[in-house]
Amino acid sequence: MRLFWKDNDPACKIEVPERLTVSHEALVRTGLADRCVSVPVREATDAEILLAHSEEYLEAVKKTPYMSLEDLMELTRQYGDVYFHPNIYHCAKLAAGAALQLVDSVMTGKVRNGMALVRPPGHHSMRSAANGFCVFNNVAIAARYAKQKYGVRRVLIVDWDIHHGQGVQYCFEDDPSVLYFSWHRYEHQKFWPHLRNSDYDIVGKEKGAGFNINVPWNKVGMENGDYLSVFCHVLLPVAYEFCPDLVLVCAGFDSAIGDPEGEMCATPDVFAHLTHLLMNLAGGKLCAVLEVRPPSLYKKDAEEKVWPEPPKRVTPPVCAALVLPDDVACPEGCERFSFSEDLDPLLASKLRYG
């Protein structure tokens, strides 16, 4: 499904099928696809979509397969920065359903963690409105689905897309059982979606006050150290106290180097580190859901910058571990030490105790 309404519309070069094909091809080319478990997808049901959306909005989207191009364009004008297509309802149900299948696989122990490569994205869509290429809010639906089906008490949602996921924020702003964290390009409200509610002092409301964390970037060019500093000094201390049972990631990579709109300088390596840091929470139960990928990735030079050849592994492969003082108990569901793969017990003992 490709947008061809206006040849000169920048949106035609952002929300494109290559968001998925480039991602999958990179996984195959680097050999990572062979190390992954493929989870079958399904369409989300009406009841599941209604966990985060109104009946009126769902009924409006249901009509799109039967609309003329003129009717679709008229419906599009009712919302912001979104484009409707006769197949968008089917694709949006598949995107939400894929996120739910991933939650099922993680919560039942079939996989330890995973990523759903989906299109259309979801984190901008609101209860009764499509927005920012997003139709159904895949991550918001997944969070409420996990709470309803598996009795998950606390969910951490981390949004590292370059745009603020206002749809997720609005969905959970009064819910103390969901901690939402977002960093995003802001530039004092000059960057899309241009919302006052994307600023740092918007922390949630009523019972949810304190469970919404916004880190607005007021300049571009943020590097790996900036991302890691925010994680280590802002997010992780709160996340460990929150002690989630499940971690969901709104994984938009327009915050990576090479994206002309994001204009950030973080390399792919840092997203691996961020992911491993999050895997120390919730017993490693982590589900990442694709949001937006850089349009520049469709150029070979930028693709090589963001999808470099993976380095040869050295022995032993370990990831950073959070070390707590002896007098501080490790929170339930968290691990004091976490390694990228199983190690020899003697080596692990040396790494732990020196």
Question: What is the pLDDT at residue 252?
Answer: 92
Give residue 324's pLDDT.
54
Mean pLDDT of the chain: 86
Q: Which residues are catalytic?
A: 124
Question: pLDDT of 91-109, one tens digit each?
Answer: 999 999 999 999 999 999 9
Helix, strand, or coil here: 110? Answer: coil
* Neighbouring residues of 254: CB distance < 8 A, sequence distance ≥ 6: 161, 162, 163, 261, 262, 292, 293, 294
pTM: predicted TM-score of the whole model, two decimal places = 0.81
Task: Give the per-residue pLDDT at 2.
Answer: 47
Which residue matches tokens 């201390």? 237
DSSP string, 19-86: HHHHHHHHHHHTT-GGGSPPPP--PPPHHHHTTTS-HHHHHHHHTGGG--HHHHHHHHTTSBS----T
From CA 81, how far away is CA 162, in angstroms rounded? 16
136 touches 43 (CB < 8 A): no
Q: Which residues pair with 155 in a beta bridge?
A: 178, 246
Q: At what angle do helices 88-107 and 138-150 cross, to 10 degrees?
A: 40
Instruction: Please report the DSSP string for 112-165 in residue order.
Output: SEEEE--SS--TT-BTTB-BTTBSS-HHHHHHHHHHHHH----EEEEE-SSS--
* Residue percentage of the chain with pLDDT more than 70: 78
Task: Answer whether 115's CB lies under 8 Å from 288's CB.
Answer: yes
* Residue 231 DSSP code: I
Structure tokens at 140: 């918001």
Q: What is the pLDDT along the chain (354 residues), one digit of tens a residue?
A: 444 445 455 555 566 677 778 888 888 998 988 999 999 999 999 999 999 999 999 999 999 999 999 999 999 998 878 889 899 999 999 999 999 999 999 999 999 999 999 999 999 999 999 999 999 999 999 999 999 999 999 999 999 999 999 999 999 999 999 999 999 999 999 999 999 999 999 999 999 999 999 999 999 999 999 999 999 999 999 999 999 999 999 999 999 999 988 999 999 999 999 999 999 999 999 999 999 764 444 444 444 555 455 545 444 444 444 455 566 566 666 665 554 444 445 544 544 444
> What domains does the chain contain, in order, with CATH numbers?
10-311 (3.40.800.20), 315-354 (no CATH)
Entry field: residues in the chain: 354
